[in-house]
Structure 1
Amino acid sequence: MTALSVASLLSSTSTVVQTPAHYERSFSLPITQLPNQQYAIANMRIEQIHPCVILWFGKTDLYFASGHASPPDFHNRDYWPKFEL
């Protein structure tokens, strides 16, 4: 039973149907290929990468969510893969 039909059964007044919202946010940061570099930002070691991150080098996909919890929980660091250059 949809929200509209439930609302119609409960009230004889007009109903307002709300459609689900879709939010998407993206940004890009330029990265360069840095072989064997352990530190990217002032002695801050990058150890894991968030599963939602997509990395490209030129037109080559380097990484795209290799695994995630079910149901998806991207805050669960157990599913964050190691970042290796």
Structure 2
Amino acid sequence: MDAVTDPDVTQVSVMKSARVGYTKILDHVVAYYLSYDPSPILVVQQRVEDAEDYSKTEIAPMVRDTPRAHRHRPGSQSERHGPDYP
């Protein structure tokens, strides 16, 4: 978390094996920025379907269930068109 929350760090690269909990770490990073330092975030997946699934199964429930993150979600678009995630 030190590297991803340091304003002087512009890129974090990760070399990892499979099934080590990286997705949960990524979820926590997204939650941190939604809750404490709202800013644009881009999470890239290999396929559009993967991105939609990740958004619906991981990000949207996390935002819904975390009061501080929910409070900082973009409001105008979600009020007009449904959730911003995706």
Higher helix proportion: 2
User: What is the TM-score of this pair, normalised by structure 1?
Assistant: 0.24
Higher strand proportion: 1
User: What is the TM-score of this pair, normalised by structure 2?
Assistant: 0.24
Greater length-normalized contact order (CA 8 Å, ≥ 6 residues apart): 2
State which structure, 1 or 2, has the greater radius of gyration over its C-alpha atoms.
1
